[in-house]
Amino acid sequence: MKLIRKGKVKDIYELDGDILFHFSDRVSAFDVKMVTPIPRKGEVLCRFGEFWFNALGTPHHMLRVQDKDRMVVKKLKMVPVECVVRGYFYGSFADRYTDHLGKGLPADYKPVMAGKLPRPIFDPTTKSEEHDLPIDKKQAIQMGLVSEKDYDFLEKTSIALYERMSAIVEEAGFIIADVKFEFGRDETGRIVLGDSLGPDEYRLWLKADYQPGKVQKAYDKQLLRDWLIKIGFKAEIDRLAKEGRKPEPPTVAPEIAAELSRRYILAYERISGCTL
């Protein structure tokens, strides 16, 4: 088994012509890898990925789960676009929203923090280990990332998958505010769902707690992001970014790591109906 890449949260190995994902307990935020592990996070990510690949009914690359935090998948040629779908006015979409970036929203649309959008919005980005940048259809095609036909397929498929995920989590009492999909081409050239799906790839809220106009209690890594903002780490990131540098990550407070683990596990067990 040969190590191909050690990522921010998972290690990727070559395994007899296939690929093995080892989901670690590492966590990253604002494109910075934290030094503090989150207990059982790798297990939750692996099991959530297995659940979604089985539940969504779309072609994917998963072959099997091996041990509690390892997944064997088919090798794909990944499409160099992060396929983000927004269902709610929140996060970076809200931060950079202007009338001309309305993504086809109605002219009379008045945004409310955490408010449900009139329809899901396809909001793709570039794919980078450092920092993903928002792009539109014209830019994606001009940059040679995808063809017009492939872009249309990715948009349609991503929105349909988001809507299926939303229906599934709603039955468990949750809301998916947004989600990031990754796709790749298999040996036949067909585009299939790849990478993985879990709370590192979407914002998840409890329906019982949901209140438009307010910051939402998150069952994903937003808890960590909020803590990093509170202690001033995000401001330090922004300051050093102007110099092309990144700060050293802080030690995550024990109570934040424990609560993040608890929320990940609770979300998985409620949505999947399985006990870890």
One-character DSSP codes across 202-261: EEEEEGGG--TTSPPPBSSTHHHHHHHHHTTHHHHHHHHHTTT--PPPPPPPHHHHHHHH
What pLDDT shows up at residue 139? Answer: 94
In the chain, where the domains are located: 79-276
What pLDDT shows up at residue 108? Answer: 82
Closest CA to 263 of 41, 23, 80: 41
What pLDDT shows up at residue 101? Answer: 57
What pLDDT shows up at residue 100? Answer: 47
CA distance 42 to 19: 17
Structure tokens at 244: 């092309």
What pLDDT shows up at residue 148? Answer: 97
What pLDDT shows up at residue 130? Answer: 58
pLDDT along the chain (276 residues), means of 10: 90 94 94 93 97 97 95 96 95 72 73 93 82 86 96 98 98 97 96 94 95 93 93 94 91 97 97 94
Q: Which fold has domain 79-276?
A: D-amino Acid Aminotransferase; Chain A, domain 1 (3.30.470)
Place of tokens 């585009």: 191
Question: Taking the model in full, what pTM does it have?
Answer: 0.91
What pLDDT shows up at residue 69? Answer: 96
